[in-house]
Structure 1
Amino acid sequence: MKSIVCSALALALTGSAAFAQDALPQQNNDWFTAAQAELARKAAVQPITKKARNVILLVADGNGVGTNYATRLFDGQQKGNFGDENVLAHETFPHLALAKTYNVNAQTPDSAGTGTAMHTGVKTKAGVIGVDETLNRGDCSQVEAATIANAAEVFSAMGKSVGVISTARLTHATPASAYAHAADRNFEDNSKLPEGCAVPDIAAQMIEAMMDGKIDIALGGGRRHFLPKDVTDEEGKGGKRTDGKNLIEDARAAGVQYVHDDETFKAAKLDGTPVLGLFESSHMKYEADRTGEPSLAEMTEAAIKALQTNDEGFFLTIEAGRVDHANHDGNLARVVRDGVAFADAVAKADELTNDEDTLIIVTADHEHAIAFQGYAGRGSDILGLSMKIDPAGVKALDEPNLAADGKPYTTVGYLNGTGTILTEDQDWFGTRPALTQEQAIDLDYVQQALIPMSSETHSGEDVAIYAKGPFAHLLNGTVEQNLVFHIMQHAASAE
């Protein structure tokens, strides 16, 4: 038996040597030559260990590996291809890691805890902002003792300019974690503060940070949290504040430029004068519905041009907040369109900066309960029905796969949400709604889901981190999410 094994091993080694010396039979295969070219590109990558003048963190809220995959296919299919061969802007970055996203008290995280991890370097509880895990959510009396330094404070202390961008409200969890300290993410204005709370609300903290030079440009939604209840904004919508403070007017009186729509945004001076952009009463519009307000890429470009006026460099945090909201709604058509808008913002940030002096990190705070259902042939519309594999060709057949109930199903679904197929007092089998391709690809279609929920939930799996620039090579393997901050600070303070 031993001699047989030895003979087999010798034959294998001989064959390997022969293949190493002679051409492999697959050497002219397109997949083989493409992989060889990619190998050469990767072999040429060298770490950049110079000090980072600028640091840009781009976070697509809820854009885990699965959501990113759906966006990749949608973008590629919109360009007339199968979709899976497509490469999004951040997917070209040379360095990659996986982040563990849990909060200290939550296996499946929330964005306040994950945002705080990335903007302070400390993991904390779900629902709290800019504080450590010793604070009990909602207890204002514990904020002072639990406060930790955030990105706006750290990078402005280095002499850098700071920018905060979000398509959500600027007072929402992820952007707020860059500059605020709060016992609860819901303390966006004073009306939600508990009686006797001595800690200012999140909107008030943002304006204070702008006045103190800790934020130089802030662009996003959330106008209502800066205005009193008896004041209406430019769109006729009322404020939320009950303390009578008009924070927008306070900012303007301090010399901050205020912009609220496309026209005023384009007229803003990008010369280092602080800019406050509030484009909606609540969240900005989904990309699919956007009118009268700038895109995420346009806000990114404006912010970089404004922040580049500082010789000491800048820190810029950018959130595509509405990827998350569309996932919560189970509305994949809007998820992927906001996902593409995020990729456009990544491309714009990369275009306007230099790899030698700018660290760019692209990631997500968490994933959603999104599910990819087999067995879809290549080219099946990522928004549509799962089509059968063609055994004789490449492109999917024009014939849907059928579930055990005899009905077609979409390529993508959710494990829970408002699109549930389970209803009260109903046996699901055989009663699942029939579905056509036309229905499935409609902009407003809500994907079918399993568990009934009023809003689809986050999920707990790892998310990807894509990076390039100074010290980006330190992001590799599987890491705790709070390492992101430490890499950013290390790169910015390196000698």
Structure 2
Amino acid sequence: MHPLVVVIGVVCALVAPSTQVVFPSPNPRETETSFWMDHGRRELNEALQQTQITNKAKNVILFLGDGMGITAMTAGRIMKGQKKGHSGEEESLVWDRFSNMGLLKTYNLDRQVPDSAATATAFLSGVKGNYMTVGVNGNVKSRDCAASLKEENQVSTILKWAQDAGKETGVITTAQVTHATPAALYAHSPYRYWQCDTSIMTEGPDAIACKDIARQLVEDEPGRSMKVVLGGGRQEMGAGIEADVKKKCERSDGRNLVTEWQQDKASQGKTSAYLTTTDDLRNLNAENTDYIMGLFGDLHVPYEVDRDTSGAGTPHIKEMVKVALRRLKRSDNGFFLMVEGGRIDHGMHHGKPRRALEELVAMEEAVRETLEEVDLRETLIVVTADHSHVMTMNGYPDRGNDIFGVTLNENDVSDHLPYTTLMFTTGEGFNYTWNGSEVIRPNLTGVDTTHKDFVPLAAVPTYPGSETHGGEDVAVFANGPMAHLFHRVHEQSYVAHVMGYAACIGPYTDCDRPLNDHRTRYKHIGHHNDHDHDDDDDDERKGKGGKVYGKGSSRYNGAPAVKSAGFVVLWCLVVLMKMW
């Protein structure tokens, strides 16, 4: 062998991707034409059997994945499948199987790329607003306290509409209960970060007339009348208990708003429960408690990958939803509940895909739990996002490649270094150097890119935690009464109008619709992936441990395979020999 070939082979080994798992496809027949023809027919038949449910919605449940753009959902779907040991691309998130969907334009009135406060105002009130503002219309600019106090500039939301109609209401979030998305349900503020009194006091004399968001939750309607409030945010409420937590918005007035909330309920002759741990939640008698407040973090609820799963720790979002539904389903008039997977966004802002996607899949479990608890003939369920992020999926990784893994695309990448499938256009992962003649990026050989704190490469540097949002459309999925009204590209504010019309509340109280009791086929919603309908396939997998694959599919041999750097070296040598 020529010495040059040996030298280049060694170089290939040095830059080859680190050893990683390649997950197999779960479908033994997918290489055959008949598999895809059968799959297509089944999906077409499902579509043909769908009927519009025009009933009045007794209940409305909104699931909001903060920052859950299309790329995040695709990557989350793959991760979910790979957690089961198969390739993942063919997997489904539960809302992928919903009967109706559309796209939403997310811009703020004054920004092409939005923030979470103004987007939440849009999908909860039906009115678009300006960047960083909460619960106010476009006449209010960020930090303009005087304009925000004008009643004509304040907007009402579906929370108020539901309460006016006699419905029980609640909110669940993995962020602070005073954070942008939940705040838009009940607060009117020109600046989303005026969560406690201190943040207003430091703003200057022009801001003093405004009330902080935490006080609005406890003192004002409609926040004061919510039956369920679960999330993080003890610090803003003056009820912090963690000595070593970051001080972001500590109260200066010395008030404990949780205690005041409890006293207010007692003065009304109502029962209340304040929860701080998983055991508190599990031991709660939701059937006999009027008001429930659970704050499971001084700031946010811990990330799913960090969460203390013991009884003394913090609950899974699925457990929060289950308890909330037990309480709200007591209402004869129905209920409105918003559930936010808030920390998807935070993982993205720090450029840490694993953290973000674990949050996404946790929220998906909560949606699945909800489908077991409600009747879709009387409950509208909407799943959407407020905005996207600038994470992208790139390269040409093999089918089943670890979604957090690396690929080596020799044909297109001029520096011949491996790179991750998931990367960012902005973020703290910016890491380039100049050697005097060319730009150099890190060699990921031997690096554990699957770790929860791994930060992939970014094109533009930001301060830690400041990766930016993305401005593209986000998806909206719906099932239940009037779900078919999501059918094309809509303004984000349209979501509130659909929810209000479906339930005949708010601007749409004049609502006389005939009962439509058609049993829409929802069976397909529960399937774990799009290909999992063929009885023969199911039997084959169950009977043979999922390790039988069709002709020509030896590459997917039924168990995760290890992709070794040695194979890359061999490939390099073969190519070089041919060239030589």
Shorter-chain TM-score above 0.5: yes
| Counterpart residue identity of residue 233, structure 1 | I
Q: How does 1:219-234 map to 2 (within 5 A)?
A: 219-227=230-238, 232-233=240-241
**Among 82, 89, 96, the residue aligned to 2:101:** 96
How far, CA to CA, are the matches of 2:300 and 2:435 in structure 1? 37
**105, 119, 122: which one aligns with 1:117:** 122
Matches for 1:200-211 after TM superposition, within 5 Å: 200-209=211-220
Structure 1 residues 117, 407: closer, same or farther in 2, change over 3 A? same
SS in 2 for 1:178: helix
Query: What is the match of residue 257 of structure 1?
Result: 273
Contact residue 61 and residue 321 of structure 1 kept, 8 A: yes
Alignment-derived partner of residue 154 in structure 2: 147
Helix, strand or coil: the match of 1:466? Answer: strand
1:414 and 1:48 mapped to 2: Cα distance? 41
Distance 1:95 1:429, change over 3 A: farther
Gaps of 5+ in 1: 1-25, 389-399
Deviation of 1:235 (Å) = 5.9
Q: CA deviation at 1:115?
A: 0.4
After TM superposition, the structure 1 = structure 2 runs for residues 91-490 of structure 1, keeping only pairs within 5 Å, are 91-145=96-150, 146-193=153-200, 194=203, 195=205, 197-209=208-220, 214-227=225-238, 232-233=240-241, 240-255=250-265, 256-271=272-287, 272-291=289-308, 292-386=313-407, 403-422=413-432, 429=438, 431-436=440-445, 438-454=447-463, 455-490=466-501
Partner of 2:531: none
Between the two proteins, the alignment pairs up a number of residues equal to 455
8 Å contact 1:286–1:322 — kept in the other structure? yes
Q: Distance in 1 between matches of 2:474 and 2:129?
A: 18
Following superposition, the deviation at residue 213 of structure 1 comes to 5.3
What is the letter of the counterpart of residue 456 of structure 1? E
Aligned to 1:275, what secondary structure does the other structure show?
strand
Alpha carbons of 1:242 and 1:283: their partners in 2 closer, same or farther (altered >3 Å)?
same
Corresponding position of 1:8: none
Take 1:179 and 1:344, find their aligned partners in 2: how far apart are those partners? 27
Q: Distance in 2 between matches of 1:429 and 1:326?
A: 32
Overall identity of the aligned pairs, in %: 36
Show the counterpart of 2:44: 39
Amino acid at match of 2:460: I
Structure 2 letter corresponding to 1:131: V
- The amino acid that maps onto 1:368 is H
Give me the whole-angstrom Cα distance separating, in 2, the residues matched to 1:285 and 1:55. Answer: 27
Counterparts in 2 of 1:428 and 1:218: CA distance versus 1, 3 Å: farther
Q: Distance in 2 between matches of 1:298 and 1:133?
A: 37
- Structure-2-length-normalised TM-score: 0.75
Contact conserved, 2:228 with 2:291, CA < 8 A, in 1?
yes
3-state SS of the aligned residue for 2:370? helix
User: Structure 1-normalised TM-score?
Assistant: 0.88
- Listed as ranges, the gaps of 5+ residues in structure 2 are 1-30, 266-271, 505-510, 513-580
Distance 1:105 1:132 in 2: 12
Quote the Cα distance in structure 2 between the aligned partners of 1:142 and 1:203.
20
Contact 1:377 1:387 in 2 (8 A): no
Closer/same/farther in 2, CA of residues 484 and 211 from structure 1, 3 Å limit = closer
Q: In the aligned structure 2, how far is the partner of 1:93 from the partner of 1:289?
A: 31
Q: Which amino acid letter does the alignment assign opposite residue 32 of structure 1?
A: M
The change in CA–CA distance for 1:335 and 1:232 in structure 2 (over 3 A counts) is: closer
Aligned position for 2:523: none
Question: Which amino acid in the other structure matches residue 101 of structure 1?
Answer: T
1:23 corresponds to = none
Report the Cα distance in structure 2 between the residues aligned to 1:175 and 1:427, rounded to whole angstroms: 50
Amino acid at match of 2:373: L
SS of the aligned residue for 2:336 comes to strand
Mean Cα displacement is larger for which, 204-213 or 37-46?
Answer: 204-213
Superimposed CA distance per residue, residues 94-153 of structure 1 (whole angstroms, 9 cap, x where no aligned partner):
001000000000000000010000110001101000000001211211113211112221
Are the counterparts in 2 of residues 386 and 409 from structure 1 also a CA contact under 8 Å?
yes
Q: Partners of 1:354 and 1:66 in 2: how far apart? A: 31
Q: Which moved more, 1:141-150 or 1:39-48?
A: 141-150
